[in-house]
Structure 1
């Protein structure tokens, strides 16, 4: 995989600490705006990235690049992914994939028409601990309750209250608690159970954006609560409860360091990680998909992302929130 990185923010900096551990990834370029050049220069030097671009067209016409990783703000994902696909590049997009299911379907169709791969970096779907939880669910018997809480006070919230609207709280830029923290919970739950039968979103809304909220997903015989908050904080944890036992995860489901599994009164601690960084396994999978041109696996992963976006569409509509 010959990769160009789009962005120079926190997620890209985190990604770069890990990517050298992934076999067969060759960093070819980094793209950002003119104001990012000092940061991009530092990153390029530190991680041996040979080219720096501030012009998208110039980057996309570079023949040494076959794939782009989009680590830009949420509202830019769709347009940059679309242009990259039309330029003949495979595309990896950070979560949330795009802002609506219709946008996601359009990108999936373009990728199919052009015989390219487009995937969302929904990392928890690739983690060994997630796969183990999915495998172990039948041990819990009939599931009854899933409760996910990802609440983390944002250092941008005080500015927001004073009227300074940064991207994390800007509805025009795809901000809000649902699209930031709660999206991990949605990926986790739908990755286990598929699409819900009903969706309700009870959000705390200010200036047109959800600063926190409780997402209720209903399945046959199972009730799910996904809480995401950027205006307050609490212990981050997830519980899955069934008639025969439960699973408890302390910490975010996008990291999933370990979990406790209790069945018939007996508890064991489980940790199947193969790497300390949460993004490692997804990029191993992406590299394999792209190097072997496994479009069927990519379509399978995209089907999951579209389920997530269907939940997002329904939740935002229920709460009366419009993004973009």
Structure 2
């Protein structure tokens, strides 16, 4: 499987690092906007990538790879993915899938029509520890509470307080704590339990109308779930499921799920660490390569449906909290 990495920021570097560990996957090009050409060349030299493009349309037309990996600002996920699908490429798009539900639905429809392999790169859903949680879930009995927290003080928050707005805090670029961090919590909850009956978002909103932290409250039949995330403050992160017969707790960032502990009534808690790689992104690229090699389009379809459901929940809650994106 050949991949073209689009982007030169932190997440593109992380992807390039992870891809070095994945067998049967080759990064053949890095694509950047013209003003980032030199940065792309430096990355290509560092990671041994043979080619650099500074024209996305021309790169798509040359079609020298199977997939584009889009590690770019949130607000252009839709347009870059749409162009790639139209040019006959398969697509891996970083979370969040898109800025709006309408964009998500259009991408999915285009991918189906073209039989495009369209993946959202949401690391926890590809981790062995997630699979372990999924397999253990029935042992908990009737679920009563789900709690998730992903909070880390952003390296760009001090700049934000000084009115220097980075993309992750820019509503015009589809930023904010919900779309940057809480999306991981929601992907876990929705993938395990489906779309909630209702959702509300209580957000701390900054001077430019973006959420710097907030809590989602989700209502399901028989239980409630909360998903908290913060870029303006820090605390231990975790993911917890409570049932009438036991509990599961994963300590650490929900995008990594480094381990999980199962406590069943009448038994001593047991901790599991099933992830095989230190870098969280290796598992997802390995899984995508396997799905592509096996022509397992059913897994692609399942992933797209989860992405759509999460986007529907986030958009409704975001608008309810008064957070407007340019894409709206």
* TM-score, normalised relative to structure 2: 0.95
Q: Partners of 1:240 and 1:222 in 2: how far apart?
A: 11
Q: How many residues align?
A: 324
Which range moved further: 201-210 or 15-24? 15-24
Mapping 1:1-324, distance limit 5 Å: 1-206=1-206, 207-265=208-266, 266-324=268-326
Which range moved further: 188-197 or 15-24? 15-24
Q: Partners of 1:249 and 1:293 in 2: how far apart?
A: 32
Contact 1:90/1:290 (8 A) holds in 2: no
Q: Partners of 1:313 and 1:63 in 2: how far apart?
A: 34
Deviations 1:167-220 (A, max 9, x none): 111000010000001000000111110100110000011221111101001111
Contact 1:30/1:52 (8 A) holds in 2: yes
Deviations 1:5-26 (A, max 9, x none): 0001111111111212212112
CA displacement at 1:158 relative to structure 2? 2.1
Contact 1:117/1:293 (8 A) holds in 2: no
Q: Partners of 1:185 and 1:256 in 2: how far apart?
A: 11
Partner of 1:61: helix, strand, or coil?
A: helix
Q: Partners of 2:23 and 2:192 in 1: how far apart?
A: 29
Contact 2:63/2:89 (8 A) holds in 1: no
Structure 2: tracts of 5 or more residues without a match: none
Q: Partners of 1:135 and 1:293 in 2: how far apart?
A: 24
CA displacement at 1:52 relative to structure 2? 0.5
